[in-house]
Amino acid sequence: MTYLRFLLPLIGKAECLEDWKDVCKICNPSVFLLKCERTKTICGGFFINPNGYGVSAFHFYVDIGKKTNDCFMNYNGKKYSFDIVAKSEEDHIIIVKGKGVKPEGFLKFAKETPVIGVEAAIFSTNPFGNPIFEPGYVLDLSYTKVQDVKFPCIRSSCRGGPGYSGGALVNRQGLVLGMQKSFSNLFTVFDSIAIPSANIVKFLKKKAKETENGWEF
């Protein structure tokens, strides 16, 4: 079972459930994958405006040795170079700008804190460019046993796996509740930890302006 947890996200293609189809249409065109050939590091992310700006997890920046050479953004099966335009270890987030990429979608953040028991799903991309869709429920809003993170996080029953970090945890309206960080190991498969959207928005407001057409830098 443990091996399957790591193998399936790498080779599988998660099909969207019928009652999530509308959300999948919003989210699947809005996610990307960051990859570094030099360190063999992968990390998900999602766009926050139509101009190629997106967010991902800070530990990707650490894992690549804080150098983006030999790294690229994979979106819709194509590779793009990118810049890290802002970063915060405290909030565990990086803001990236894909060069020449024209996203077909971008995500917005939920304005209200989720309640325990609400339905949610992780959207990201695996190393082969296949969409990742992992539905579940919000289990905890105050999980604190996360390495390198010093604030309460969201724990959900959505399955986690390699490359899921940086992906979007969204609600039934396709609004971002958080950004995938890790899994807690409390369960064998169904368990994920996300950085709350409030922490992400707090950092974004220092760098950009929120508009109806995404974040303006």
What CATH code is carried by the domain that includes residue 140? 2.40.10.10
Closest to 120 in 3D by CA, of 70, 182, 190, 62: 190
Structural domain that includes position 89: 29-106+201-210
Judged by DSSP in three states, 23 sits in helix
Pair (51, 20) in one structural domain: no
Pair (193, 205) in one structural domain: no
Pair (85, 118) in one structural domain: no
Token pair for residue 89?
Answer: 């270890």
Pair (95, 144) in one structural domain: no
Distance CA 192, CA 158 (A): 6
Distance CA 87, CA 61 (A): 9
| Domain contains 217 | no
Indicate the number of domains in the chain: 2
Closest to 191 in 3D by CA, of 167, 168, 158: 158
Pair (111, 191) in one structural domain: yes
Pair (54, 121) in one structural domain: no
| Domain contains 216 | no
| Domain contains 168 | yes
pLDDT (tens, 9 = 90+) of the chain, 217 residues, equals: 333 444 444 444 556 788 899 999 999 999 999 999 999 999 999 999 999 999 999 999 999 999 999 999 999 999 999 999 999 999 999 999 999 999 999 999 999 999 999 999 999 988 777 888 999 999 999 998 887 888 999 999 998 777 789 999 999 999 999 999 976 655 555 679 999 999 999 999 999 999 999 999 9
Q: What is the pTM of this model?
A: 0.91
